[in-house]
Amino acid sequence: MTDHSRRSSSNKVGGELQRIPTPYVLFLGDAIDREAAKTAIGIAHWRPDNCVGQLRLPGCQVDLGLADLDVEGAIERGARTLVVGVANRGGEVSPGWIDTLVDAAEQGLHLAAGLHTRLSGFDVITSAALASGVGIHDVRIPPSGLPVGNGVRRSGKRLLTIGTDCSVGKMFTSLQLAREMEARGIPATFRATGQTGILIAGEGIPVDAVVGDFISGSVERLTPEAPEDHWDVVEGQGSLFHPSFAGVSLGLLHGSQPDAMVLCLVPGRPHMRGLPHVPSPDLGQCLSLNEEAARLTNPAARVVGLSANTYGMTPDDAERTLDELERELGLPAVDPVRTGVSRLIDALPK
């Protein structure tokens, strides 16, 4: 049996995509649903050329449609890094994953993960990596020297995706918005604030790993002064209504000083993710509270539209749902996959 002991470690690698060798094999572990595998899903969608296949353990309920591989098969297909594609509650390394991670390192695969629990904190993993000469890339490590936020207005424009809950499509919507802006010739930069976004973009700050006093300051650093016509599209995190993660959401609202916000949601979700005793918020209340909080640092902040994740709905049901959302809140409602995000770009302040 493998020794799963951990140690305290400071990993100096962090969040720079160009330092993580490609291509990847995406490790899905024993993920129980798509939300739990959102890191792998995001990488497979936005960096498909970097993915040779998926590695799943018994009990995994997620299939990305990639080739199912073991460690040997991944190496045969040219994989250089095993990326942990699971984003579970609490960001922990499951004991059931360790043997596979050690095997991958022993056979020469680099390891990358964006979990709160660092792979470099396990002696058995670091020993295998050192023996094989491969790297361990823990991207959920914030940079040092982050400032305390000051709320001083800065040039440029900023769009922040906000959510009714966790895992509702904030990152996907942000990436689609940045892509659409670039296609229109609008200067725009996607600003990653979570592990998946950092792996996709190659840079960013994992704000949920930042000490609370410095969250808003970290976002100010992430979105510095820019030309007046430039948009920073900031990836949102959590929800003001989620008892577990609202602090990060508030820090993003204050630090990004958004000129525009897009409210992301999964229609029909009955309760907050991981908290069946906490019902999903009223949409109107969610919209108004986010605007009120954002106006502490930007009095002009407002929600310009809705991004609904209608995955699993029929086309007719999705269309009907978007129409109902528009009537309810008087804002354009899109599904970034089904309809694109053009109408949200049209609604941005000039």
pLDDT of 305 reads 98
- Please tell me whether residues 217 and 307 are part of one structural domain: yes
pLDDT digits (tens, 9 = 90+) for 214-264: 999 999 999 999 999 999 999 999 999 999 999 999 999 999 999 999 999
pLDDT of 201 reads 85
Alpha-carbon gap, residue 141 to 19, rounded angstroms: 15
pLDDT of 19 reads 65
- Please tell me whether residues 121 and 61 are part of one structural domain: yes
Alpha-carbon gap, residue 196 to 26, rounded angstroms: 12
pLDDT of 307 reads 98
Alpha-carbon gap, residue 18 to 139, rounded angstroms: 12
pLDDT lower than 70: segments of the chain:
1-19, 89-90
- Please tell me whether residues 126 and 189 are part of one structural domain: no
Helix (H) or strand (E) holding 42: helix 38-46
Number of domains in the chain: 2
N-terminal to C-terminal alpha carbon distance within the chain: 62
pLDDT of 228 reads 96
Percent of the chain with pLDDT over 90: 82
35 lies in a domain? yes
**At 251, which CATH number?**
3.40.50.300
42 lies in a domain? yes
**At 126, which CATH number?**
3.40.50.720
Structural domain including 224 reads 157-346
- Please tell me whether residues 102 and 247 are part of one structural domain: no
- Please tell me whether residues 97 and 176 are part of one structural domain: no
Give the tokens for residue 211.
């000490």
- Please tell me whether residues 162 and 126 are part of one structural domain: no
pLDDT of 3 reads 45
Alpha-carbon gap, residue 350 to 348, rounded angstroms: 6
pLDDT of 171 reads 94
- Please tell me whether residues 174 and 222 are part of one structural domain: yes
pLDDT of 92 reads 84
Alpha-carbon gap, residue 19 to 34, rounded angstroms: 27
2 lies in a domain? no
Q: Report the sign of the C-alpha dihedral through residues 204, 209, 210, 212, in that order.
A: positive
144 lies in a domain? no
Q: Report the sign of the C-alpha dihedral through residues 300, 295, 257, 325, in that order.
A: negative
